[in-house]
Structure 1
């Protein structure tokens, strides 16, 4: 699959690159995509939820009232869950939500996601660029030139570029990652995936194994 290489002004450079069929032209595996997205979202959970149970609530252990003769239910402690301020029954406890997934399944899922984007013609190949200093306005100008200012976009760099990353950090609809940070969820979550020329070799070498 051949794609024209654009510059940051949105114009064609006259060059074309061939996207590998082994990465961008496979038969998508929807179940692998589902497993990889589920694992990514599960691993984002901190699992620090916690509520105090009866033995953790501060309060007197004195028996509230005598056992019999009051005409009401017996009660032994103000820390009982039936009272306001008492402990919570079966409340949430810290939990590790981390899931594991086979590397081959992850690789298949990412290739499937890139293939889906390629079929939708949602992949843009951009020549490598950088900024002299971090400036959000410069990154917004690139988005406007590519017609992506009103869409969610994912920029994939070959190597980390601090100026480009910092220029995009304030924009909620755009994200900049390197090839090592690329995952299925981020690919599918974006309307358009912008691949810099320097990232193509890394993506294809990582996923064509």
Structure 2
């Protein structure tokens, strides 16, 4: 699959690059994508939720009424969850939501995500660029030139570039990562995936 290389002004440089069919042209495995996205979202959960149960409630331990003869249900503790102010029955407890996935499955999921975006013509290849200093306005100019100012975009760099990263950090709709940090969720969450030329070699090996 050949794709034209654009410059930061959105103009065709006249060069084309070959995107590997093993990464951008595979048959999409929906279940692998589902599992990888599920794991990504699960790993982001803090799991610090907690509700007090009856053993943790402060209150009297006196039996609140006699066992028989009241005409109502028997009750032994004011801390029971059936009473107002009582403990929560089967409430949430702190837990870890993360789970393990095989490396092979995650590779299939990432390739499926990239193939999905490629099939929908949402992949752009841009020549490498840099800023002398972090400057959000300069990054916005790049987005406007590429027609991405109102779209969620994912910029994939070949290696860490602090100036480019800091220039995009304040923008809600733009995100910058390196090819080593590429994830199924990030790829599918973007309207457009912008690959810098230097990132292609690493992406072809994921």
User: Corresponding residue for 1:95?
Assistant: 95
Q: In structure 1, what is the Cα distance between the partners aligned to 2:69 and 2:184?
A: 66
Q: In structure 1, what is the Cα distance between the partners aligned to 2:178 and 2:62?
A: 61
Q: In structure 2, what is the Cα distance between the partners aligned to 1:73 and 1:121?
A: 66
1:111 aligned to 2:111? yes
Q: What residue ranges of structure 2 are gaps of 5+ in the alignment?
A: none
SS class of match (1:55): helix
Deviation readout 1:101-145 (Å, 9 max, x if unpaired): 111111111111111111111111111112222222211111100
SS class of match (1:58): coil
Shift of 1:89: 0.7
Question: Which range is displaced more, 36-45 or 119-128?
Answer: 36-45
SS class of match (2:79): coil
Q: In structure 2, what is the Cα distance between the partners aligned to 1:118 and 1:154?
A: 14
Shift of 1:70: 6.1
Q: In structure 2, what is the Cα distance between the partners aligned to 1:11 and 1:68?
A: 87
Shift of 1:77: 3.1
Q: In structure 2, what is the Cα distance between the partners aligned to 1:9 and 1:182?
A: 25
Q: In structure 2, what is the Cα distance between the partners aligned to 1:69 and 1:101?
A: 58
Deviation readout 1:148-171 (Å, 9 max, x if unpaired): 111111110111112211221222
Shift of 1:74: 4.7
Question: Which range is displaced more, 170-179 or 140-149?
Answer: 170-179
TM-score of the two chains, using structure 2 as the length reference? 0.91
User: Corresponding residue for 1:201?
Assistant: 201
Q: In structure 1, what is the Cα distance between the partners aligned to 2:27 and 2:68?
A: 74
Deviation readout 1:25-44 (Å, 9 max, x if unpaired): 22222222222222222222
User: Corresponding residue for 1:150?
Assistant: 150
TM-score of the two chains, using structure 1 as the length reference? 0.90
User: Corresponding residue for 2:125?
Assistant: 125
- Give the RMSD, CA atoms, in angstroms: 1.8
Deviation readout 1:43-67 (Å, 9 max, x if unpaired): 2222221100000112232444555
Q: 1:80 to 1:20 in 2, by over 3 A?
A: same
SS class of match (1:131): coil
